[in-house]
Chains A and B, each alone.
Chain A
């Protein structure tokens, strides 16, 4: 089941990101579904799975991106790893805490891209990229990621309640 889910994510997320995601873009900025998926898997299933899925999703992203064949792979792998480690130190994994964590991780990923991609334009262009790409994308990722986390966590809690209740109906 888990393998099928990962295969679905690997085969489906990047094509969706490249094609139909522009319908939900704001000001030309799309959320990074691979980053969100790596974070959520890191949060829910631990740092190892977050890192491995991040590496794989990042590699697929690199195949269809104009950058080198390592940038997304390394950043998404790191993000998955850090998400898994971060959730250990959160006292309560509330949607707000998750929102803040994804915001931070997305900003970190964006900073790596900024340093790797936009090095020749000077400070003014770098600041423009921060304002127009890095921050909007981080906010988008955080809101979408926290929303998805809330949905998944609610579903898991409901399923657990049904399983543990004596009647088996969650009553």
Chain B
């Protein structure tokens, strides 16, 4: 039996591509079967939470509070878009050039679970390949960026949050237009790395997506800068960011389906596609 197990391990490690293809083929139908109890448990979880919050904590006040919170999130997003549009139009007007902004296609999805382990900060959505969702697509809410899709099955997808240390997104400081890379931290926050030393970044500045690469269009809010680290001898500054999105209260998200994946994945043949969480700038 030990020999059998050792053989299995060696197949997994020596033939990673082949074993992954095999696992993907087996995983597809299994994931669809498990999606049924998962959906049931997600509904139970949702109803438990709603019962607790709704009936025990003054139902009407809670409902109104929730509506207003959604409105605030939506307005924050709009406000951010307007600010971004203003900055953009100023710059473009100065150049006497206008470029039409391309609106991304989006797909709404419900959050049905959290990562199956404690080692990743990720969420599971109730939409997958059947709904046009694929690996490397960006995920947002009206308030800002949530993360990127790293794994899909026909009926579900796994989204790695921007607060996960394995995630990296290209971003820029809205006021100063300095670009950098946003990474998650072990503490569950995010940080903007590689800010030029001469940048006039300050606490309170808003960080948005730079739109330089595939998953996210330019100008989506990521978060606000709360701390700036500048050590002697370093070539760059680093800023700590508090994300705009409250990841503990995520219920619905939007997946940007029009974005092109950065690199090829093994998702051909209509099978489950996976881009395991590795540090990569989408």
Interface residues of A (CB under 8 A from B): 10-12, 14-20, 22-23, 28-30, 32, 34, 47-48, 51, 55, 59-70, 72-74, 77-78, 81, 113, 117-118, 120-121, 125, 128-129, 132-133, 137
On whether A20 and B37 interact (CB within 8 A), knowing A64-B124, A67-B120, the answer reads no
- Measured CB to CB, the closest approach of chain B to A127, in angstroms, equals 10
B119: chain A residues at CB < 8 Å are 65, 67, 113, 117-118, 133
- Measured CB to CB, the closest approach of chain B to A77, in angstroms, equals 7
A59: chain B residues at CB < 8 Å are 23, 26-27, 30
- Tell me the bound Cα distance from A22 to B30 in angstroms: 24
B48 touches A18 (CB 8 A): no
A51 touches B27 (CB 8 A): no
- Measured CB to CB, the closest approach of chain B to A130, in angstroms, equals 11
- Measured CB to CB, the closest approach of chain A to B148, in angstroms, equals 10
**Of B225-233, B254-262, B271-279, which binds chain A?**
B271-279
**Of B38-46, B68-76, B80-88, B100-108, which binds chain A?**
B38-46
- Measured CB to CB, the closest approach of chain A to B217, in angstroms, equals 23
Kindly state whether residue B117 has any CB partner on chain A within 8 Å. yes
- Measured CB to CB, the closest approach of chain A to B172, in angstroms, equals 23
- Tell me the bound Cα distance from A64 to B272 in angstroms: 12
User: Which residue of chain B has its CB nearest to the CB of A122?
Assistant: B186
Specify which of B8, B26, B272, B276 lies most central, judged by the most chain A CB atoms within 10 Å of its CB: B276
Query: What are 30 A-B residue pairs whose CB atoms fall within 8 Å in the complex?
Result: A15-B42, A18-B112, A18-B116, A18-B124, A19-B38, A19-B41, A19-B114, A22-B114, A29-B118, A30-B118, A59-B26, A59-B27, A60-B116, A63-B151, A63-B272, A64-B115, A65-B122, A66-B122, A66-B151, A66-B160, A66-B166, A68-B276, A69-B27, A69-B274, A70-B19, A70-B20, A72-B117, A73-B12, A78-B5, A118-B165
- Tell me the bound Cα distance from A55 to B166 in angstroms: 25
- Tell me the bound Cα distance from A5 to B70 in angstroms: 43
B12 touches A70 (CB 8 A): yes
Kindly state whether residue B24 has any CB partner on chain A within 8 Å. yes
Checking B9, B113, B118 against A19 with a beta-carbon cut-off of 8 angstroms, the contacting residue is B113
A64: chain B residues at CB < 8 Å are 31, 34, 38, 113, 115-116, 124, 156, 158
Name the interface residues of B118-134: CB closer than 8 Å to any CB of A. Answer: 118-120, 122, 124
Checking B31, B117, B186 against A67 with a beta-carbon cut-off of 8 angstroms, the contacting residue is B117
Checking A19, A78, A120 against B45 with a beta-carbon cut-off of 8 angstroms, the contacting residue is A19
B117 touches A61 (CB 8 A): yes
- Measured CB to CB, the closest approach of chain A to B190, in angstroms, equals 14
- Tell me the bound Cα distance from A127 to B265 in angstroms: 33
A62: chain B residues at CB < 8 Å are 23, 27, 116
On whether A66 and B158 interact (CB within 8 A), knowing A15-B37, A20-B48, A30-B118, the answer reads yes
Q: Known contacts A69-B20, A69-B27; can you find 13 more A-B pairs with CB under 8 A?
A: A11-B33, A12-B37, A14-B116, A15-B42, A18-B112, A18-B114, A59-B26, A65-B115, A66-B120, A68-B274, A74-B12, A81-B1, A81-B2
B208: chain A residues at CB < 8 Å are none
B116 touches A17 (CB 8 A): yes
A63 touches B34 (CB 8 A): yes
On whether A65 and B34 interact (CB within 8 A), knowing A48-B1, A118-B165, the answer reads no
A120 touches B165 (CB 8 A): yes
B115 touches A70 (CB 8 A): no
User: Which residue of chain A has its CB nearest to the CB of B28?
Assistant: A63
- Tell me the bound Cα distance from A10 to B24 in angstroms: 17
A20: chain B residues at CB < 8 Å are 41, 44-45, 48
Kindly state whether residue B153 has any CB partner on chain A within 8 Å. yes
